[in-house]
Each structure stands twice: as C-alpha cells, then as structure tokens.
Amino acid sequence: MTLEQHPGTGATLQLARWVAGLNPEDLPARTKAVVRLALLDTVGCGVYGYATPWTQALLKWAQAGGGTGRSRIWNATQPALRAADAAMVNGTSSHAFELDDYHNAKLHPGAVVIPAVLAMAEQLDSSGERIVTAIAAGYEVMIRSSLALNPSAARLRGWHLTGACGPFGAAAACAVLMGLDTERTAWALGLAGTQGAGLWAFNADGTMSKRLHAGKAAHSGVLAAELAASGFSGPTQIYETEDGGFLKAFSDASNPAPLTHELGKVYHLDAVSIKPYSCCGSTHAYIDAALQLRQRLGNAWDAQRPVQVGMSKVVDVQCGFDYAPGSALNAQMSLRYCLAAALADGQVLPAQFSERKMHDPALSQLAARLELVDDPALDKLYPEHFAGWVSAKVDDAWMRVDILDPTGSLAAPMDADAIMRKFSGNSPQLPVERIAAVALEIEKHSARELIDLLAPAHAARAVA
C-alpha cells in the first residue's frame, strides 16, 4: 500500500512527515544548543557507566554473537559491533548509574537517542549537522510520545516510560540519518512502537532491568529504522488505532494532541534537565531543599532533628518506599536514602552509592526517621514541575524549603562548564576539555572523531 492509499492522515503519519522533512536549518538556535549540551552530558554518562557490572554483562552478550560492524562501544578497546548492538550497550552504559538527562515527561531521552544516533552515524559516516538534526528529532518524538500518554497515568500503571517511548525516539533519529521518506519513517515508528516495553518491577528488589531499558529502546529503534529501510512494513497508525494502538494500550488517560500540537514550532526538548545528582530525577527538588536546609544550619546535621517531606502521589509510589540496604538502584530510587545522604554528607554523587555508604547504619536510621507527608498541592504541580519541599524542626518552629524546579532544569540550568565538571569528576582519565570542544561544535566534526576521544588508549596518550 502506498502512502497515498492510506486512509486519512493520523498522528503517526503527521509525525512521520515532519521527521522525514526535518532539515538542520529548521532547528532554532536554542534547540541546537540544548542538543550539543545533551550530547556532551550523555557521552560523559556513558563512559562512566561502561565499567558497571550490568554494562559489562551486556557487552559480553553482544560480543558472543560474533557479529562485527562499524559502530564502537564508548570507552572500550573491543572490536566494533553492528549499530543496533552498539546502541544497546552504549544506551545501557549511559543509563547505568542514574546520571543521564531526563524530561518532565518522565523519561530519559539522552540515554536512548544519542547512543542510537552515534552508532548509526558512525556506520553511515554522517555529517555533524545531520547528527544534531537526528538527535533533535529523536528527543522530540520520544518526549511527545510520553506526553500523549499522560506520563503520570502511564507511570501509575507500572510503565517505565524510557523503555516504552524510547524506541520511537531512536527510530525517528535513525530515520533522519538514513534519509527515509515519509512512508518508511511511518513504518519505522510502527515497528518501534510495537517493541516498546519497560516495567517498573525493578523497584521491588532493585535489580538490573531498569539499566537495560534505555539500551533496549535504542536497539529497538535502530532495528526498526533498518527494517523499514529494507522494505519491512510497520503499522502506520501505531499511535492512534483503537485496537492495539500505543496510546490506548499504555494509558487510560491518553490524548493524541501532544504528538502534533505546534510540531516544528515548539520543541519540548528545550526543557530537558541535566542531572547534578546520581539518583532518580524525581528526588532532585528534595535534595536541593535538603542541601539548602543543611547550609542554613551550618553544614552539619543533627540526626535526631525531626524532618517532614511533602509528597505527591506519583513520587510517593515511585520513591517513597521504606529504605533497606540493597542494590545501588534501590538506593538511587529511594527518596529516603537520597535525602539522608544529602543531609548527612552534603552531596548525592556516585560515592554515596558505594556498598559502605549504602550499609551505613547511621544513614539507614536517618532515612527511617523522615516523615513523608501527602501534599495535594504537589499533585497539581507534578510532573509539569518536579517540585518538592523539606521542613526541619528548629527549636519550636519549622524551617521549610520549597523547590518548584530542581537544579539542572530549565528554571535552574547547568551550563557547559558545569557539565564538564561533572564529566571530569566521574571520568578524570579522559581528555574532557577536548571531548567537550568536539561535542559542543559537533556540526564541524563527526561521530567517529568524538568516539575516538572516548577510547582508553586515547586517554593514555593524553596523559603521557
């Protein structure tokens, strides 16, 4: 069936038409700047996550198939893999330690889209301008897919939206790099959507499955675009069809309007947040509030001081569980533990998720003492604002700090220097300034030039 024979022009085809027609000159300067910062931040997260057990296990699996390709693993010396497998490993490493960017649509676009783009761009030897355009398309499609679901409603059904919506973003980005026409882009979106998955069950026991979701979404998107390019058709009404469509299947409160409303005029990706803390983004406003309280009280914390924490329903379900020492993910998703670390240590960085720290009885006791309070006012704000408040008893009064939007958000952004400091702190062995110089002017460079700088051998030469 040709495009002209398709009945109507539903949301899927409208989105596909926009992706297929997107050019570098269509992107606003602000959007391009956000893409460059996101690129720098994501590769920094990815090279840090390379050494984690879950990334190493996935890399071993990918290499066991014996397949070779032109797409490399960041921070590795192993042979290159085919694009889909490289995207999966790099996506998992980017999401490996809760350092990667997020959007208030309740997903992590960078860890999905950027690994897919760099893997495909290295395979195709794409220009830097096409890389920026592809990343922008992928972020926008992924974010709009979640907004159309109603993120809070879909999350409360148990979906991890990075895994559910991520394949759309990766497929759209690869469609740009591959120059797919509208029909094949629609096929790619359809094939991506039918692979969408990701369940929040990891919170029950803190297992590795969450780490996989971003990587598998990147893999699914690359696979979808490559199949579509080869003539393998996918449903061209993947979002909107009543029987088995993405929106109806994943949410009881979906609305297709955000998929196409002001498409090409408003870029939701401009509001992406960069993480300063190594934990769930929904905890960041609370950490900001706790750090402010700690500073006001002399940067020392009385573990017996009463503390109250205002909670929205979604954050309570997601992060309000009782803390017990377990895996790093368990601690990174625990609001109680993250607040205890912020109050006691004055920071919530990878060091706070070491085995020693997570099993520190003092932190566990402080976490248990926090009083979580339902606050309907926060329900009205979330997820448009990842808001929160923390209040501490001081003498006979309460000192409360309210945060509407956390550090790293559009309201309190992290600039390139802050991202470089984050990158340097997590991966001091790499030439971060040179990596930043390429990432922040990627239009003048290529994926291969950027990935060259991420290799350990290059780092050794730089040190020497």
SS3 label, residue 260: helix
Phi and psi at 392, nearest 5°, equal -125, 140
- C-alpha to C-alpha distance for 118 and 116, rounded to whole angstroms: 6
Phi and psi at 395, nearest 5°, equal 60, -120
Residues 6+ apart with CB under 8 A from 262: none
Burial of 252 from C-beta contacts in 10 A (0-12 / 13-18 / 19+): exposed
- C-alpha to C-alpha distance for 434 and 402, rounded to whole angstroms: 39
Residues 6+ apart with CB under 8 A from 464: none
- C-alpha to C-alpha distance for 192 and 172, rounded to whole angstroms: 9
Residues 6+ apart with CB under 8 A from 261: none
Each residue's pLDDT tens digit, 169-181: 999 999 999 999 9
Tokens of 325: 């020492």
- With tokens 């350990």, the residue in question is 456
Each residue's pLDDT tens digit, 57-113: 999 999 997 767 999 999 987 778 999 999 999 999 999 999 999 999 999 999 999
Give the residues across from 77 on adjacent strands.
none
Quick one: which of 214, 166, 231 has its CA closest to 193?
166
Tokens of 222: 């690359």
- Check whether domain 3-271 has CATH 3.40.50.2300, yes or no: no
177: left (phi over 0), alpha (psi -120 to 50) or beta: alpha
SS3 label, residue 130: helix
Residues 6+ apart with CB under 8 A from 323: 330, 331, 334, 336, 337, 340, 364, 367, 368
Whole-model pTM: value is 0.95
Asked if 93 contacts 74 with a C-beta cutoff of 8 angstroms, the reply is yes
Which class is domain 281-403?
A: alpha beta
> Domain ranges in the chain?
3-271, 281-403
pLDDT per residue rounded down to tens, the chain (464 residues): 344 444 558 999 999 999 999 999 999 999 999 999 999 999 999 999 999 999 999 999 999 977 679 999 999 877 789 999 999 999 999 999 999 999 999 999 999 999 999 999 999 999 999 999 999 999 999 999 999 999 999 999 999 999 999 999 999 999 999 999 999 999 999 999 999 999 999 999 999 999 999 999 999 999 999 999 999 999 999 999 999 999 999 999 999 999 999 999 999 999 999 999 999 999 999 999 999 999 999 988 999 999 999 999 999 999 999 999 999 999 999 999 999 999 999 999 999 999 999 999 999 999 999 999 999 999 999 999 999 999 999 999 999 999 999 999 999 999 999 999 999 999 999 999 999 999 999 999 999 999 999 987 644 333 32
Tokens of 21: 């027609």
∠ Cα 316 210 345 (to 5°): 60
Length of the chain: 464
Tokens of 189: 């979106």
Residues 6+ apart with CB under 8 A from 380: none
